[in-house]
Structure 1
Amino acid sequence: MQKNNFIVILTIMLLIVHVPMVSGQSYGTSAGLRLGNNNQGRMLGFTLQQRIKKGLTVEGILQSDFVYNTTAHAILERHRPLVTKRLNYYYGAGVSFGIEESRQKIPESMQIIQTYGNGTVGVDLLAGLELTLLGINFSVDYKPNINIVGRQPWYNGQVGISARSVLVKGNKQNKKRRQKARNKRRGNQEGYFHNLIDSIKKK
């Protein structure tokens, strides 16, 4: 069952990368805090988002309840604008690793076996809304986690609220990319002319 879930998540990730879309986001890089809440309790985390191309972002999350559970997540996200690029909805999928508690139910004896310090590996889904105002990015999301190794229950859903500071604005990142592309084209042209001149001199 868990292998089938992994295949489904992998398929979703491939669709995220290849589906064409209108780009959103008014920022290139943002970082801040994320408060997550689920049935097991609250977790405080650090979140970093980096846009890697139009409408495509990588988010890293490191979170802990400072008692039994600490997890790291890497999620690939698609962003689409709502009315303006400052208001987006987004969705994505990724992987997770961590040290977590596990609660395994034994139906025959009607017991729950609870263990701590379990190394876990899982896959994440993510869907959320974000708003960027005055250099601050606010978001609310729902992040289901499907455990592959190390934890019971195998499914765990988490609601998260994040506040991030915009470190690099989107237009500044776009400007750097355009400049880099121009420099690359210029370098290719100069290399072509140098090679042409060298070949003429040899003749």
Structure 2
Amino acid sequence: MKNHLILLIPFFLILFTLTDVQAQRYGTAAGLRLGSNDYSRTLGLTAKQRILKHTTLEGIIQSDFSRNTTMHLLLEQHKPIISKRFNYYYGLGYSFGWEESQVKNPATMEIITTYGNATNGIDLIAGIEMTVLNTTISLDYKPNFNMSGREEFFRGQVGISARTVLVKSKTQDKKRRQKARAKRKKNRTPFFEGLKEKIKRN
């Protein structure tokens, strides 16, 4: 067992080196998400957009192509673990969709299932994420609290996502700085005009 652990040390060192040197933080990333819970297995699309230094907005559309199709919008806060490319995140959001619902009848010991129910609810999310070689891989747990349309108040889901980095954070930051610079330049008052205005006020 000890020998196996010793052999794994170089692997982890290489992984962390790749993560720190070759990986890229992202401004925009999009890809696929696989979700799983007690009711269904879903395939979906996921996209993340960095809106602040450590904050992203994530949109998810997922379906089991049978009885459950949902859409989610989540605000997420990221915290680095080892580097900027390997982090954990948590957040909350809103969801809606069309889901199955199960009602238990104790008298007859039957479970009545209905589907096509219009639902909406509140999501929480917590996960870990690594960006390497222009790809972001994440593992998350996303509990959902139903507000209407479903009998079950709580449903949890484990998700694995793989996203391609579409816009790197450096590119996004550069564009943001250029816009801020152009705005300052546009609003800047020429020196002599500003001096004339001061003289007029006095």
Q: TM-score range, shorter-chain basis?
A: 0.7 to 0.9
Alpha-carbon distance in 2 for matches of 1:194, 1:55: 42
User: 1:154 offset after TM fit, Å?
Assistant: 1.2
SS of residue in 2 equivalent to 1:160: strand
Counterpart in the other structure of 1:26: 25
> Please, what is the CA RMSD of the aligned residues?
2.0
Q: Structure 2 matches for 1:43-122, cutoff 5 A?
A: 43-122=42-121
Q: Which runs of 5 or more residues in structure 1 are unaligned?
A: 1-24
Q: Does 1:127 align with 2:126?
A: yes
Alpha-carbon distance in 2 for matches of 1:67, 1:194: 70
User: 1:163 offset after TM fit, Å?
Assistant: 0.3
Percent identity, please: 58
Runs of 4+ in structure 1 deviating by more than 3 angstroms, as ranges, are 192-200
User: 1:198 offset after TM fit, Å?
Assistant: 8.4
Q: TM-score, normalised by structure 2?
A: 0.82
Alpha-carbon distance in 2 for matches of 1:173, 1:196: 34
SS of residue in 2 equivalent to 1:153: coil
Alpha-carbon distance in 2 for matches of 1:105, 1:187: 66
Counterpart in the other structure of 2:150: 151
Alpha-carbon distance in 2 for matches of 1:70, 1:187: 47
Alpha-carbon distance in 1 for matches of 2:127, 2:71: 19
Larger Rg: 2
- Deviations, residues 72-109 of structure 1 (Å, cap 9, x unaligned): 00000000111100101000000000001100112333
SS of residue in 2 equivalent to 1:109: coil
SS of residue in 2 equivalent to 1:183: helix
The answer (yes or no) to whether the contact 2:60–2:73 under 8 Å persists in 1 is yes
- Deviations, residues 27-59 of structure 1 (Å, cap 9, x unaligned): 100000000000012100000000001101000
Alpha-carbon distance in 2 for matches of 1:170, 1:149: 38
Give the stretch that moved more between structures: 172-181 or 109-118: 109-118
User: 1:199 offset after TM fit, Å?
Assistant: 5.6
Alpha-carbon distance in 1 for matches of 2:183, 2:175: 12
Aligned partner letter, 1:152: E
User: 1:152 offset after TM fit, Å?
Assistant: 2.1
Q: Which runs of 5 or more residues in structure 2 are unaligned?
A: 1-23
Q: TM-score, normalised by structure 1?
A: 0.82
User: 1:153 offset after TM fit, Å?
Assistant: 1.3
